[in-house]
Structure 1
Amino acid sequence: MKLTLIAPLAASLFALAALPALAEAPLATATFKTQESADAGTADLSEGPEGVVIRVTASGLTPGWHAIHFHETGDCSDEGYKKSGSHVQHAAKEPHGLLNPEGPDDGDLPNIYAAEDGTVNAELYSDRVTLSEAEGRANLIDEDGSALVIHEGPDDHMSQPIGGAGARVACAVIEKVE
C-alpha cells in the first residue's frame, strides 16, 4: 500500500522541480484578428530545448481544415494581411511543404481544424523556429517581428508557394512576453 503512494508522490515532486525551468523558458503571445473581429483568438508560444510549442485558440473561421504558417514580418495592419510577408526563413529559402522532399521551409506547420462553430483549439510544435535566437532556427522575435497567419483552406504540404491554402483569413503579431 505504501508503494502505491510513493509513485504518485515522486511524480508530483518531479513536476514541481521542473517548474522553475519552465518559468525561465522564453514565452510569446499573439492575438488573432480577422476582417470581422479584432480579437479572434490567441496563440501562446513556449520555447523548449529543441523548438517551440504553439497553443492556438481561435474563432470565427469557416468549419474545416486551415493552413497556419509563421510569416516573416509582425504586421497584420492591411486587408488580406500581405504586410506579414512570406514565411520565416533562417537561411537560404527552402521549398514549402512538410511533405516536400526538398522542404520544409521554416514557416511550415501542420494544419488546424475549425469545428462546426468555427472554433479551433490546437497545440502545434516546430523545431524550425526560436524565441531566443537559437542557432539554426528562424527567430520569431527579431527586429521586424513575425506573425502567425491562418489561411482559408488546408495546406497540401507540397504545392508551391503555400500548399494551395488560399487567402489569408486571420493574422496575429507574435510578441515576446516580458
Structure 2
Amino acid sequence: MAAAGLSAALALGSSAALAADTYEILGKDGKRIGEVTLTGSPHGTLIDLEIAAGSLAAGKRGMHFHENADCSDAGEYKKSGSHAGHGEGKHGLLNPNGPEPGDLPNLIVLSDGSAQAALFTSLIKLEELKAENGSALVIHAEKDDHTSQPIGNAGARVACAAIK
C-alpha cells in the first residue's frame, strides 16, 4: 500500500515535494570535508550526510539547522546565526517545552574521523530551510544533551553547510 501511495504521488506530479539538493560541508579550516543531501517531503526533511575520514574528532557531535546560509567565517561559523526557528527555552529534542525546528539528533563520528547519517526530521521542511536567508547545517565540537540552554552544551561550531 505504501509503495502504491508513493507511485500515485509521483504520477500526480508531486516531484517538487521530493526534490533533493546536495551541499558541501566545510570543516574548521573552511575546506570541504563532506556533503549533505536534503530531500524535501510533505512532512519534513530527509537528511543524508557523509563526512570524510580524518575530518572530525570521534564521538557524538551536536548537529543543528541554523538560521542563515552563511559559512564564510571558517573556524567559527557564527554568521550562521541561532538555531532555525529559535524559541526561548525550547532547545532540545528532550526539552519539556518542546524542540526548536532546527534541533537534530547527535551525529556519531567514528574513530577514523568519518561519519555517515541517514535521518528524517519532521520539525522543518526543506522549503523552510531554503527560504529568505537560507539556513546552515552546523556540526558542533561536543554532543548535544538535548535539554540545556541555549545549545545543549554542544560547544564550538566545527563544520558548516550553507543551504540555499
- Does TM-score exceed 0.5, indicating one fold? yes
From 17, 30, 36, the equivalent of 1:43 is: 36
From 17, 20, 24, the equivalent of 1:31 is: 24
Q: Counterpart of 1:7?
A: none
Q: CA deviation at 1:49?
A: 1.9
From 101, 108, 111, the equivalent of 2:103 is: 108
| 8 Å Cα contact 2:35-2:50 kept in structure 1 | yes
Label 1:115 to 1:16 Cα distance change in 2 as closer, same or farther (>3 A). Answer: same
Q: What runs of 5+ residues in structure 2 fail to find an aligned partner?
A: none
Q: CA deviation at 1:14?
A: 5.1
Identity of aligned residues (%): 45
Q: Superposed, which structure 2 residues align to 1:80-99 within 5 Å?
A: 80-89=76-85, 93=88, 95-99=90-94
Please give the secondary structure, in 1, of the residue aligned with 2:26: coil
Distance in 1 (CA, whole Å) between partners of 2:72 and 2:9 is 37
Q: CA deviation at 1:35?
A: 2.2
Q: Counterpart of 1:77?
A: 72
Please give the secondary structure, in 2, of the residue aligned with 1:166: coil
CA RMSD of aligned residues (A): 2.4
Q: CA deviation at 1:83?
A: 0.1
| 8 Å Cα contact 1:63-1:118 kept in structure 2 | yes
Q: Superposed, which structure 2 residues align to 1:146-161 within 5 Å?
A: 146-161=135-150
Please give the per-residue CA displacement for 1:127-175, whole angstroms capped at 9, x wherever unaligned: 111123xxxxxx1011211000000010000000000010000000013
Distance in 2 (CA, whole Å) between partners of 1:162 and 1:16 is 37
Query: Quick one: which amino acid aligns to residue 162 of structure 1?
Result: I
Q: CA deviation at 1:17?
A: 3.5
Q: What runs of 5+ residues in structure 1 fail to find an aligned partner?
A: 1-10, 133-138
Q: Counterpart of 1:171?
A: 160
Distance in 2 (CA, whole Å) between partners of 1:46 and 1:72 is 18
Q: Counterpart of 1:62?
A: 57
- Higher Rg of the two aligned structures: 1
Query: Quick one: which amino acid aligns to residue 171 of structure 1?
Result: C
